[in-house]
Structure 1
Amino acid sequence: MNERAVLDRLASLRQNQYQGRRAPHKPPLVLLALGRLANKGSSELSWSEAESQLAKLIAEFGPESKTGGAQSAAYPFTRRRSDGVWTLSRDVPMDLVRPLAADDVVGRLEVSLETALHRDPQLLRSAARALVDSHFPATVAPDVLVAVGLDPDDVLQVEVQPTTAPRRRDPAWRAAVLQAWDRQCAFCGYDGQLGFASVGVEAAHIRWFAFDGPDSLDNGLALCVLHHKLFDLGALGLDSSLRINVSTVFTARTRAGRALYDLHGQELKPRPGKAVPADGHVSWHRREVFKGKPLAA
């Protein structure tokens, strides 16, 4: 199997998405298998290992799940067989935990896929890069890679030829978003500058670019580095009235950490005449990214 065939096979994980909905169960399993292949020489993953490791990855980097725990891990562990990426040591019914646990079923990447990736470490890194680029924003991708045992410095420097024509980013979007929010964090007001350049303030997509989020002012917030990451991890969000929500999943003990609680309920104050975040993008983030429930008022 050549490089193009490998990347095309893995691109099927992206193609199964529908109308911008995230598929949180798919990429963590394959990335975990890639990490094991890179570190152990085999992508084999027993259910007893997957049950905890995979469930933790899905909970940490996926949207809120109605199932959670072993059940959330059982979905990709049993269903990935359908796209030719994943195989199991024995046939088991879809989604059922008990048969997986009874014989501690072992899963692994499909043989020809694993062979090609094992033979070419650069291809393995390219595959990991393609997956994180397709499923996570740049703020979160390094954390995902570390969690599955891959080095972000190795993976994120790899150039990947896309399987389809990529959407083009608007090079002027970042500057336009920062200007629209007066070059300060829309949540906390941080506005550090070094000379004439903003430092630690970034343009954040509300609806992620990888999930059809447009480079438009109504899909952008200027956020400090900390709040950008927490926004993309689902610890922070917005309600329909454009008030900041802090998730009950987030906890802190120190004064600095607990300062995040003070943001809860604060209303965004955009500059007069600025395009405010669009309802559709805000609701997408609340559905697909925000974790748990907002703090009590």
Structure 2
Amino acid sequence: MTSNRSAHPALIALGAVGAAGAAAAVWGIGIERYLFTVREATASALAPGSAPLKVLHISDAHMAPWQHRKQDWLASLAQLQPDLIVNTGDNLGHRDGLEGVRRAFEPFAGIPGVFVHGSNDVSEPSPRNPLRYFSGPSKRHRKAPELDTAAMDSFFTHELGWTDLNNTAARLEVAGNTVDFFGVDDAHRDWDRLEDLPAAIDALGPRPDGASVIGVTHAPYQRVLNDFIDLGADAIFGGHTHGGQVCLPGFGALVANCDIPLKQAKGLSTWTHDHRTAPLNVSAGCGHSIYAPVRFACRPEATLLTLTAR
């Protein structure tokens, strides 16, 4: 005698959840983190009468030497012929990461660029419990081995011709436009010295008529964004958030690892402070920590942002 008994509904549901989780892990670890994309956007930010400025915003490469697909993709972006590169940090992701960074960025030599540091440009990444990000911005719990930041900076400044904006300001001529830049070192590690910026800006001399102003930060903390607005930024660039890295489809980022509103953790939005508003572009970045090799509903990206006259 035989009998047919239906499986318990709870077991069926549990099996379905497990299968969905496994499929999501396969997608996020094995597929999506390699689906590099260029996000294109336009924002009115430059002084009236300015020529359009095509800006390639690159962030959070977290480069390891074996990541050849990412290196090849980044190198290919030179074909976009941007007028300006804005690099918002965390380029290194391994003690030998500069090898991959050089391979990725060498085609940009001669294109004007600016950069700031993230913490992983200074110290090696370390394993972390990802659940801790849900309790607020991550904290540094132990001293990690230092990276060769000076060698990376030398490559950027002397070989590529980029300008270091860590807690300072600079004036550049870009595609026929005079642009004043200022930036800060990683605010996530409290390395930003916002109090130094007014003097650095004053040292540039009187701002020419028709000049535009761009602020650059790695971590887009609200205190930094507010000060940038107060200092006259016409546009602001940030990174650090990874766009949430693992997102909920239809909702977006679940964490930002800083105090920026989650809805602004990725993409082009605006930031308003004291009755003044400027475009804000936060890059989701093109990499990840070697200890968290996953992207879900948040493709690795660079941004081609065309700034136009207001």
Structure with the larger helix share: 1
TM over 0.5: no
Structure with the larger strand share: 2
Could you say which structure has the greater relative contact order, defined with CA pairs below 8 angstroms and 6 or more residues apart?
2
TM-score, normalised via structure 1 length: 0.26
